[in-house]
Structure 1
Amino acid sequence: MIGKVDPERLETVFSNTGAPDDDVVVGPAYGEDAAAIRVGEQLLVANTDPVSLAAERIGEIGIHVACNDVAASGGEPRWLTAAVFLPNDDLLEPVVSQLDTAAREAGVAIVGGHTEYAPDRDRPLVCLSCLGLADEYVPTGGADPGDVLVLTKGAGIEGTAILATDFREESGLPREITDRGAALFSELSVLPEARVLREYATAMHDPTEGGLVDGALELAVASGVVARIERDRVPVRGPTRELCAAMGVDPLKMFGSGALLAAIPQGEVDGALTELDERGIEAAAIGEVGAGEPALDLDGERIAEPVRDDLYGLWE
């Protein structure tokens, strides 16, 4: 069994949250990837995320995935703790070097964690917790009917970089294409666009496992709305299309870190897109939010249950 626990089983987690605390503004909830805790006049935004299957750039991926959840919740990432489990000593220097480099690029400090050898594993495991401060929390579950769905950069950016490195040989594609795909590792952070869109959005979410399809579904369910998306409006990079075609993967159903999904009131969309463009950030309106039984409507197909990330089949 690989992947997230299904929403029904997650209720077991959500019903066991320890002692009550009045300063917890946002706690565990489906689709909400970060908590919000009242600290003085500000909110402390915190999350935890593991990376366990991608091997070649696992430290870099881990930093960005953790920071993205805080940024997508309206926070400014500041501090990280990292738990690192390694199958052998050869990976120690590469993994911690990746963590250090990516954290410096994101402007966050690694303040603690845990490191140990786990020889029973065939791949490293990195689990990071990120904390940051926010004046206002932006939830996953804040979208309203009439909002427009905006996606930055494109679908499947993280998945593309993984395919181009972990599955370079299996793809059978020319090195020029896999190199372009691997270069997308440099675009995993959503901090720049989150700083723009948090001023406009009613809801934000970064699609990770399960890609845009799962991310949009989580936003819809958390908000109690229907997310309507047209596939043809979703930006997909050239290397993403070629690698996905070669490996039999749907770009909308694979790891999507690097893109930020936002629900924006219709009257604010032009301003948000203009500001993103002025900062050199690609973005597109890909759909709308409607009323109804919570689900994702993808080109008329109703999706109400989480999908399994297409990359999992490649690792099995």
Structure 2
Amino acid sequence: MLPGKIPPGVLEKLVFTHLGARDGRVLIGSGRGIDAAAIAFGDRVLVASTDPITGTEENIGFYAIHINANDVATFGARPRWFLVSILLPEMADESTLERVMRDLHENATGLGVSIVGGHTEVTPGLAKTIVVGTMVGEVDRKMLVTPKGAKPGDVLILTKWVGLEGTSIIAQKRKKELEEAFGKKFVERARTMMGMISIVEEALTAAGIGVSAMHDPTEGGIANGLHEMADAAGLGFRVYAERIPIRKETLKVCRFYGLNPLALISSGALLIATPSGKVDDIISALREKGIHATVIGNFLEDRNVRVLVEEKGERKLPQPKSDELWKVV
């Protein structure tokens, strides 16, 4: 298998068929396109998500907090509690652990999240530090947003820009190379794009107005995110290339390395499905908060129609087999 997420077909065969005991309080469990679980607690719902940070060691605590918080927020839940496993390579010193913990602490505090437990060890065979986080949040049951909620005709809104996380990581990993090609100021702008990775604010804002479903496109970029969202709802989609917002830094980095920006890890962007009557209110509310938002397409009833409209016409948008990031890091 290629680096990154396990292919959907393998998940269906080997993972989703081995999920332990059934529990009636599990409102949303594991499935294609579903990044968190929802568990009923009376009139409240706990939402939990887990993700590892494996593509970078720099600012690893930042990524661990925000990537997991993002998944929880797409369910309309506010992130509240965090558990973390820190796996250190042999010969790591205390300063490495201190740096990771300080990073986790500062970013958790910024979101109002408490770090409530986890595990820390030196792991034989590791080449670099790996952090695995689990974020738990809560939401009123009436306000829960389900990944399966998108409906035919729903409008697709995308916040911010695609490839933010991937561009930032590549700028960190290939700093010298990119500085020689585009200059130090360019690389610094690309590196600081990681500061836009949280989607908690826009997700909770949109959920308060009314959405059908939300999804943050991580590994595999927006192309994979669209397929995951469509898989969860059993729908197709039509999106327009000219409407998909891409920053010039991302375009230049992708052209330099021959990458597809639509398949580059895109934490920081948020896909929102909503009825057409809610679109203006959502975009207006987001823009009042300084959050860029764009209508990029619609969901379709036919799940087999998943297309990208370009100048030359309409073509199928394939689901990426691996993230473009792995080609350069």
Task: Provide TM-score, normalisation by structure 2.
Answer: 0.92
Match of 1:309 among 310, 313, 323: 323
Is 1:23 the counterpart of 2:32 in the alignment? Answer: no
Provide the identity percentage. Answer: 40
Structure 1 residues 237 and 305, CA gap change in structure 2 (3 angstroms): closer
3-state SS in 1 of match to 2:58: coil
Partner of 2:185: 176
2: CA distance, partners of 1:44 / 1:228: 33
2: CA distance, partners of 1:310 / 1:185: 17
2: CA distance, partners of 1:165 / 1:294: 38
Residues 162-311 of structure 1: pairs in structure 2 closer than 5 A: 162-171=169-178, 172=180, 173-199=182-208, 200-294=210-304, 296-299=306-309, 300-303=314-317, 305-311=319-325
3-state SS in 2 of match to 1:246: helix
2: CA distance, partners of 1:283 / 1:168: 29
2: CA distance, partners of 1:179 / 1:25: 43
**Following TM superposition, by how much is the alpha carbon of 1:69 offset from its aligned partner in structure 2, in angstroms?**
0.2
Aligned partners of 1:220 and 1:295 also within 8 Å: no
Aligned partners of 2:223 and 2:318 also within 8 Å: no
Structure 1 residues 245 and 306, CA gap change in structure 2 (3 angstroms): closer
Name the stretch that deviates more: 237-246 or 3-12. 237-246
Root-mean-square deviation (CA), in Å? 1.4
Could you give the per-residue CA deviations for residues 232-267 of structure 1, whole angstroms, max 9, x where no partner exists? 101111222222222222221111101110111111
Match of 1:102 among 102, 107, 130: 107
For structure 1, list consecutive stretches of 5 or more residues without a partner in the other structure.
none
3-state SS in 1 of match to 2:185: helix
Counterpart amino acid of residue 109 in structure 1 = S
Could you give the per-residue CA deviations for residues 113-154 of structure 1, whole angstroms, max 9, x where no partner exists? 011112422221110000000123212221111111000011
Structure 1 residues 190 and 239, CA gap change in structure 2 (3 angstroms): same
3-state SS in 2 of match to 1:307: coil
Aligned partners of 2:49 and 2:136 also within 8 Å: yes
1: CA distance, partners of 2:28 / 2:36: 8
Match of 1:153 among 160, 166, 170: 160
Partner of 1:4: 5
Aligned partners of 1:220 and 1:294 also within 8 Å: no
Name the stretch that deviates more: 176-185 or 245-254. 245-254
Counterpart amino acid of residue 9 in structure 2 = E
Counterpart amino acid of residue 4 in structure 2 = G
3-state SS in 2 of match to 1:198: helix
Name the stretch that deviates more: 136-145 or 19-28. 136-145
3-state SS in 1 of match to 2:147: coil
Is 1:125 the counterpart of 2:126 in the alignment? Answer: no
Match of 1:111 among 116, 126, 140: 116
Aligned partners of 1:224 and 1:294 also within 8 Å: no
Could you give the per-residue CA deviations for residues 255-287 of structure 1, whole angstroms, max 9, x where no partner exists? 110111011111110111111111111100011
Match of 1:53 among 52, 55, 58: 55
Counterpart amino acid of residue 312 in structure 1 = W
Counterpart amino acid of residue 183 in structure 1 = T
1: CA distance, partners of 2:111 / 2:205: 16
2: CA distance, partners of 1:251 / 1:303: 13
Aligned partners of 2:219 and 2:323 also within 8 Å: yes
Structure 1 residues 79 and 44, CA gap change in structure 2 (3 angstroms): same
Aligned partners of 2:160 and 2:245 also within 8 Å: yes
1: CA distance, partners of 2:47 / 2:303: 30
3-state SS in 1 of match to 2:149: coil
